[in-house]
Amino acid sequence: QTGPVIDMPVPASFNDITQDPSLENYIGWVWYEKEVLLPPRWLQEDLNTRVVLRFDSAHYYSIVWVNGVQVMEHEGGHLPFEADISSIIQGSPGIPCRITVALNNTLTPHTLPPGSIQYMNDKTRYPKNYFVQNTRFDFFNYAGIHRPVVLYTTPSVYIDDITVTTTSSESVAMVQYQVSVVGSTLYSLSLSLRDQEGKVVATGDGPAGELKVLNPNLWWPYLMHENPGYRYSLEVKMQAQVNGALLEDVYTLPVGIRTVHVTSTQFLINGRPFYFHGVNKHEDADIRGKGLDWPLVVKDFNLLRWLGANSFRTSHYPYAEEIMDLCDAYGIVVIDECPGVGIKMAESFGNKSLQHHLVVMEELIRRDKNRPSVVMWSVANEPASELPPAAYYFKTVIAHTKALDPSRPVTFVTDANYALDRGAPYVDVICVNSYFSWYHDEGHLEVIPLQLTTQFENWYKTYQKPIIQSEYGADSVPGLHSDPPLMFSEEYQKAMLREYHSIFDKKRKEYVIGELIWNFADFMTNQGTTRVLGNKKGIFTRQRQPKSAAFVLRERYWKIANESSCLPPIIKSNTLFL
C-alpha cells in the first residue's frame, strides 16, 4: 500500500512543488520511480560494456533498485553515488528499465548535518504519534533528488579516477598525475596536455608521472589577471585487450596550474597575496528549492561578477558540480565546505558521527580534488567547538582531510570564544562569524568598531594565523526604509556593512585575508518568530534583485580589486560586463 502517487520533477526539492502543506514539511520516506528505454546495444549480453546509474545527489538517505533488484544505498545529501547495473539489465532487450528510489530526509544526531526527532507526548496538546524534526542550522531542510540522474557506459576496463597536482615557477610548471584503472592489470595509458588553442604542450604515459609545461599560463582568480580561469585539457587514453577485443576509454580533465600557500599573515595564490572579497551562498530558490537550475546558476555568476566578488564559500554543503565547473572556468575562488553544519549536541561528537564525517570528506575530496578554484576545505560551520570532545574530533577530521589532500589548507568556520575553541589549534586559516549589533547589542551600530577590532586582535594574538571574516551581515526587508537606520531597513544593512568595512580596511593591512558577506541572496528557513518567509540577510532578494547593500558592496569590491590588481585600466572599469 502506497500513499498518493504524484508527478515530481527531477532535479528539484519536493517540498514546494504542490499545494499540500503536509508535503512542504514532510519527514520520512518518499519513493521515486521512473521507467526508461535503453539503447538496444546497452542491453546485449556484452561482457565488455558497463552500464552505470549515477545520482549527482539526493537528500538525505537513498536506497536504489533497478528492475526490483537493490543496487546501492547512500547516506548523505550533496554528493554523488553510482552503481554498475550491467548484470541486471543486459540480456533483456526491449524491456523498460525501472529505476526505484526510496529517499528519507530524517536527520539524527549522527547524520551530517545532525538533527533530532522529538515526539510530543502531551496528549492534551498534540495528536497521537506527533513529532517534529529539530535542527540547529538556519536554512530549510529541502529534500528530494536535487541533481541530475544519468545512465552512462564505459568499457569493462575503464579509467576510474585521476588525481592531478601542480607546481610552478616563472618559466616552467610541473603537472603530477596519478591514474587508476579498474577491470584489468593489463592496459596501456597515454596522456596529452593541450592548451586552450588545442596545441599539445606535454605528453606522458603510464599510471603515474609528471608533465613539464614550459612558459605556462597559470590559473588566476577573477580580477587578478586579464585572463582568469585558464585551464588546460588533460586527455587520458586507456587501451586494453580483453578476450581478443581492443577496449578504449578516454577521459578529458580540465587542469588549472596554480599553487596555494598560507603564511602567518597572508593567503598566496601563485605566490601573490590573495584577498577574499566574496559571499556566502545557498543552493536555494523559489519552487525548485535546492534543485539544480541552470538559468539560476548562470544568473548568480553574472551577479557575482557584476558585484566584483572573487570568491565564495559553499555554505553549508558541497554545491552542484555544474556550479563548481563555472568557478573553475571564471576564476571564482572557492572555500569548499562539507555538510558539517549544526554540530551542537555532545552526542554528535562521538565515534559514529566521526566515522561518517570522515567518509563525507573522502567523497567530497574525491569529487573536487582536481579543481583549481577550490583553494581550501572547510570541515564544519559553527560547531560547538568549545565542548571537550571537539578537540579530538576536529584534530582527527582535519588530519584525515590533509592526508587525503596535502595540497590544500583546511579550516572550519567558528563562532566560539577564541579562548575556548578546541578545534582552532588544528586549522590553517581562522574563519570567524560574528553579527555585532544584530544578535546582541541589537541596533547599536556604534559598538561594532571596538568589538570587531577586539575579535581580530584576540584571535591573532592567540593563534598567529591569517583570519577571514567568514560571515557578517544584517536582515533587511526590501523596500523597508528608515533614517536614522533601524533594524530590518535597507539603511541599517548598509550602515552595518560600512562599520565592518572600516575595520576590515585597517586589519587587512596586517593579517585579515578576507571578508565574505552573509548572504548573497535571501533564502528559505524553518518558520520562526525572527524569520519572515526566510532569512533576509541577502544583498539580493531570493528573486536575485539588488537591495541597497548590493551597491555598497559592489563599489567596495571593485575598489579593492583595482587597488590590488595588475590589470590594464580598461579591465579595471566597471563596464567589464556589457
Active site residues: 382
Kindly tell me the burial class for residue 148, based on how many C-beta atoms sit within 10 Å of its own C-beta (0-12, 13-18, 19 or more): middle
Q: Which residues share a beta bridge with 30? A: 103
Where do we find the cell 496528549? 123
Look at residue 394 and give its three-state secondary structure. Answer: helix
Cα(105)–Cα(262) distance, integer angstroms: 38
Instruction: Enumerate residues 6+ apart whose C-beta is below 8 A from 194.
Output: 200, 201, 232, 233, 235
Amino acid identity, residue 310? N
Instruction: Assess contact for 374 and 336: CB atoms under 8 A.
Output: yes
Look at residue 64 and give its three-state secondary structure. Answer: strand
Cα(107)–Cα(464) distance, integer angstroms: 37
- Residue 529 burial (CB count, 10 A): 5
Instruction: Assess contact for 117 and 106: CB atoms under 8 A.
Output: yes
Where do we find the cell 574563519? 431
Look at residue 215 and give its three-state secondary structure. Answer: coil
Nearest to 273 by CA among 492, 20, 510: 510
Instruction: Give the chain's end-to-end CA distance (angstroms, integer).
Output: 57
